[in-house]
Structure 1
Amino acid sequence: MHETLSGTIMTATTRTFFIENLGCPKNAVEGEGMAERLRQTGYSATDDAADADVVIVNTCSFIQPAQEESIDRIFHYLNTRRTGQKVVAAGCLAERFGDALENDIPELDGILGTRQWFEIDRLLAEVERGVRPCWHGAEPVTDPMFTRQASGPTAYVKIAEGCNMTCTFCAIPSFKGLQRSKAVDDIVAEVRQLVDGGAKEVILVSQNTTAYGLDLAREPGSMRSGSPLARLLEAICAGVPDLPWLRVHYCYPGWVNEDLLQTMARLDQVVKYLDMPLQHADPEILRAMNRPRDMRHVAEVLNRARELMPDLALRTTFIVGFPGETDAHFASILAFMDEARFDHVGIFTYFAEDGTPAATLGGQVTDKVKRRRQRAAMAHQQGISATRTARLVGRTIDVLVEGTAEGDAGIGGTGARLIGRTYRDAPEVDGFTVFDGIATRGEIVPVNVSRSGPYDLFGTQANVTLPALSSNAGTATTNISPVIAKRRIGLKSLPMLQPR
């Protein structure tokens, strides 16, 4: 018998588990829910897969590269597992291709689709009995609540599941189902738990965040008029007034309205950051994508957002190489970049997903042309981003500390070269701020910005006296950290990390 760090008394026969989460933040939230479910039923988490009695690969199935990575990780654990260790495939790939996984990878001990992630304890009970369960295709339901635990300064809250959109390139609705929004009180309770656990930034996510609550609004008295997402922001800020930063991801272009923009501008806790994936800028391609195609309206919305929030940071994503895309269509993306002056842009190549209407369209673009257009668009945007970032030189701006520039998160007490993010930068996809300072991970501190790169800021913590820095930290003010460079390169080459 031994005592865990949490103080729980565990017997020597306690079963252990390890979860690897792949893909988007929504998947990570489900992975956290599975872990909580298993702890409640007597399992104990381990940080080393080699020590686990069961390894759960929480897979992604957004596009082909995500599917390939998921399969690679499944085989990694199957090929390295010790005698008696169980390996389970969970998540979106298991939901979408459960039968194929069951037939093609008989070494798997169990398969659990994303619609039933909360039944992981039942599935493992079946595995322990010697059964090889394959559970997927269940009727979609609203995710059950579970106790949230902050594992760092930033946490994600999934406010809805599923999607009612019919974008021709996207397979998500086919395995996620139609949208099911969580109740406002439940979301506020989640945010409260995370902030009590130390979270300083909460990011709201779903497949289409601006559609939040529209399904609830069909119930009499469940929502006031206007934008249900705006009412949710108000409820969170009122219910958790000690949350410093509240961020919203994945706003569908047709549903960012005046009510939402005014609410974002009015609430100090809501960071002035708008993430609106447009996917293209040519009306003909947008029509083929079944996406909103009135780019004049989009431009008006973006202008209005900046009018209400002058320091607003704008992010979008574009897909290049969609079937039928010509050089002229592609040029429309570059032209709209010039007009909109986005702070951050993700450029991703089109992948033909089985079962989607776009996969059957004529005029499929070659991979070579896709990659060329991706490189050209990223190079075009880099100059725009550099100009937008340079406006902050000479200003003092708050930064959420995430670690040191060398990647060691155990900081504090002595001068160090620290790394963090401003309100302008979402985790994993945007830039960083590298600065000399004295702070601990999770603090929000003012930084005097002295220099900028195309995406990143550099400076010194304001209002503190700094001791001399060690010589091995001396390159970060003149060159970007290898940690930063590695993360950005990975994001450019792994499009499964970018939601649609």
Structure 2
Amino acid sequence: MKRNHQTYFLASLGCAKNTVDSESMALLLNSAGYRPVEDPHKADVMIVNTCGFIHDARQESIEVLQDLSKSKKRGQILLAAGCLPQRDAELITQAVPKIDGLLSTRRWMQIVQFIETIRSQPSSHALYDIPPDNMPSLEPGGVLRSAIQGGSAYLKIADGCRRGCAYCSIPLIKGPVSSRKMEDILADARVLEQAGVQELILIAQDTTDYGSDLGLKDGLSQLLEQMVREVPSIPWIRLMYTFPGYITDRLIDLMASSRQILPYLDLPLQHAHPDVLKSMHRPSDMEWVRGTLAKMRSKIPALALRTTFIVGYPTETDERFSALLDFTREIRFDHLGAFTYSFEPGTRGAPLGDPVSEEIKQERLQQLMQIQEEIALENNRAFVGREMQVLIDGAGDGISIGRTYRDAPEVDGLVILAGETEVGSLVNARITQAMPHDFTAEIIP
């Protein structure tokens, strides 16, 4: 039944994968007759799509819920959706006593029915929809699994994860891998092509594991081969969240030969010392990493490399940290994100404790990022004077902000251009100045 008079406010926290789930929930609510509002005080239903990955993210989610709870009026419904209900429902109910419902990240597609159930069954206690840990996410067809931002769109190809990384709570939250049907992904890609999207960003907990649960071998390559045929007018297709050891020769050759698949690789390595990686339950063959990256740079000369490292892991000694610094200097990544270790109860690494002091973690983080800033600046200076395509993400106050193929949205650098240009357009520009993360450029008429 449609409720045209019903309104909702939806706050989305956390990563791009969460943003896609929020957009999908909004589509379902809109189809059911609900209307979005920007002011939570004017909403009949207030929804927070939470993040539960690490302590700081959980704290932010609780604070947002508490703020909404304080101003909650009679008849309003307050829901916690997303990762935190699956990770720690009790934390929410204790911290936010006015909460009406907790909807797991694996059950986002039940948002409309969940709201209707709460309305039809008033209770002094919160209603739960939280599946068992071993139950995968449902991925129904017919719902666009994308989030459009300007000329770019995140497209989710799978959810869940079967890796056993010791520091990570994602398998506890998301459950085992659940790949979407290829035809559903391609249907979404066609919709995005018709919408004029210029950049398609494929995301999952592990994109290189796409299709493993469907019986596909090298499923990501199969998907990409189909995609470039299905959406030939989308000029940029970007890969995020790949996994060491699963970059196949087929994928490398496809990236090298396709004009659409960007020469950009996001390969979160997490560390570079084999003993630390083993204790993380991560792939520890660093010779494979070196060989694969060398092969890729040989076949894809324009390749931009991004990685992520964790510093201060319980088994990281001074010597092992020095090995991480040496590896960073050796490989010379174009982009590097680094984080201090966050102790997570319930993970495989929890028995190791958290022996590295916060002071040492911060010192190591600063050392690593100082080295990376020097490398990134040297890498960027090589592009001064070159002509490059720039995708415009924003414009105003006499300038435009965009990105080259070397930069993923939200995590990498920007290009600052004089003059205001249409958001979502691809323009040719000449790089005029390089900074450690960003460029300035002038549009070529």
Same fold (TM over 0.5): yes
Query: Is the Cα contact below 8 Å between 2:179 and 2:214 reproduced in 1?
Result: yes
Give the aligned partner of residue 406 of structure 2. Answer: 424
Distance 1:345 1:405, change over 3 A: farther
Give the aligned partner of residue 263 of structure 1. Answer: 254
Cα shift at 1:405: 6.4
Query: Is the Cα contact below 8 Å between 2:427 and 2:443 reproduced in 1?
Result: yes
- Whichever residue aligns with residue 137 of structure 1, its letter is P
Match of 2:303 among 304, 312, 333: 312
1:160-211 superposed Cα distances (whole Å, 9 cap, x missing partner)? 1111100110111112111111111111111111222232111111111111
Give the aligned partner of residue 235 of structure 2. Answer: 244
Distance 1:341 1:151, change over 3 A: closer
Measure the CA separation in 2 of the matches of 1:363 and 1:451: 42
Give the aligned partner of residue 203 of structure 1. Answer: 201
1:456-479 superposed Cα distances (whole Å, 9 cap, x missing partner)? 11110002xxxxxxxxxxxxxxxx
Match of 2:172 among 171, 174, 177: 174
| Aligned CA-pair RMSD | 1.6
Contiguous gaps of at least 5 residues in structure 2:
none
Q: Secondary structure at the match of 1:279?
A: coil
Cα shift at 1:155: 1.1
Match of 2:314 among 317, 323, 343: 323
Give the aligned partner of residue 283 of structure 1. Answer: 274
Give the aligned partner of residue 78 of structure 2. Answer: 87
Measure the CA separation in 2 of the matches of 1:121 and 1:456: 42
- Whichever residue aligns with residue 378 of structure 1, its letter is M
Answering whether residue 37 of structure 2 is matched by residue 39 of structure 1, we say no
Measure the CA separation in 1 of the matches of 2:74 and 2:151: 38
Answering whether residue 131 of structure 2 is matched by residue 137 of structure 1, we say yes
Measure the CA separation in 2 of the matches of 1:446 and 1:125: 50
1:476-497 superposed Cα distances (whole Å, 9 cap, x missing partner)? xxxxxxxxxxxxxxxxxxxxxx
1:105-154 superposed Cα distances (whole Å, 9 cap, x missing partner)? 32101110111111011111122222441110253243113145745211
Measure the CA separation in 1 of the matches of 2:286 and 2:149: 40
Measure the CA separation in 2 of the matches of 1:166 and 1:141: 18
Q: Secondary structure at the match of 1:271?
A: coil
Contiguous gaps of at least 5 residues in structure 1:
1-9, 218-222, 407-415, 464-500
Query: Is the Cα contact below 8 Å between 1:163 and 1:207 reproduced in 2?
Result: yes
- Whichever residue aligns with residue 432 of structure 1, its letter is L
Cα shift at 1:81: 3.0
- Whichever residue aligns with residue 362 of structure 2, its letter is R
- Whichever residue aligns with residue 164 of structure 1, its letter is R
Measure the CA separation in 2 of the matches of 1:353 and 1:405: 42
Measure the CA separation in 1 of the matches of 2:354 and 2:91: 30
Distance 1:80 1:258, change over 3 A: same
Q: Secondary structure at the match of 2:200?
A: strand
Measure the CA separation in 2 of the matches of 1:118 and 1:363: 37
Give the aligned partner of residue 390 of structure 2. Answer: 399
Query: Is the Cα contact below 8 Å between 1:383 and 1:454 reproduced in 2?
Result: yes
Q: Secondary structure at the match of 1:30?
A: helix
Query: Is the Cα contact below 8 Å between 1:102 and 1:134 reproduced in 2?
Result: no
Matches within 5 A, 1:5-16: 14-16=5-7
Query: Is the Cα contact below 8 Å between 2:167 and 2:344 reproduced in 1?
Result: yes
- Whichever residue aligns with residue 163 of structure 2, its letter is M
Measure the CA separation in 1 of the matches of 2:79 and 2:62: 12
Match of 2:211 among 210, 213, 223: 213
Matches within 5 A, 1:285-304: 285-304=276-295
Measure the CA separation in 1 of the matches of 2:327 and 2:255: 24
Measure the CA separation in 1 of the matches of 2:363 and 2:396: 32
- The TM-score, its normalising length taken from structure 2, stands at 0.95
Query: Is the Cα contact below 8 Å between 2:85 and 2:104 reproduced in 1?
Result: yes
Query: Is the Cα contact below 8 Å between 2:252 and 2:296 reproduced in 1?
Result: yes
Query: Is the Cα contact below 8 Å between 2:137 and 2:174 reproduced in 1?
Result: no
- The TM-score, its normalising length taken from structure 1, stands at 0.85
Query: Is the Cα contact below 8 Å between 1:201 and 1:245 reproduced in 2?
Result: yes
141-150 or 292-301, which deviates more: 141-150
Measure the CA separation in 1 of the matches of 2:419 and 2:250: 39
Measure the CA separation in 2 of the matches of 1:437 and 1:305: 37
- Report how many aligned residue pairs link the two structures: 437
Cα shift at 1:254: 1.1
340-349 or 360-369, which deviates more: 360-369
Cα shift at 1:101: 2.4
Measure the CA separation in 1 of the matches of 2:9 and 2:292: 45
Query: Is the Cα contact below 8 Å between 2:333 and 2:375 reproduced in 1?
Result: yes
Measure the CA separation in 2 of the matches of 1:261 and 1:461: 32
Cα shift at 1:104: 4.5
Give the aligned partner of residue 457 of structure 1. Answer: 439
Cα shift at 1:103: 4.6
Q: Which runs of 4+ in 1 moved over 4 A?
A: none
Q: Secondary structure at the match of 2:212?
A: coil
446-455 or 44-53, which deviates more: 44-53
Cα shift at 1:437: 3.9
Q: Secondary structure at the match of 2:154?
A: strand
Q: Secondary structure at the match of 2:269?
A: coil
1:410-439 superposed Cα distances (whole Å, 9 cap, x missing partner)? xxxxxx321100000001110000012452
Measure the CA separation in 2 of the matches of 1:114 and 1:390: 43
| Percent identity between the two aligned chains | 40
Give the aligned partner of residue 189 of structure 2. Answer: 191
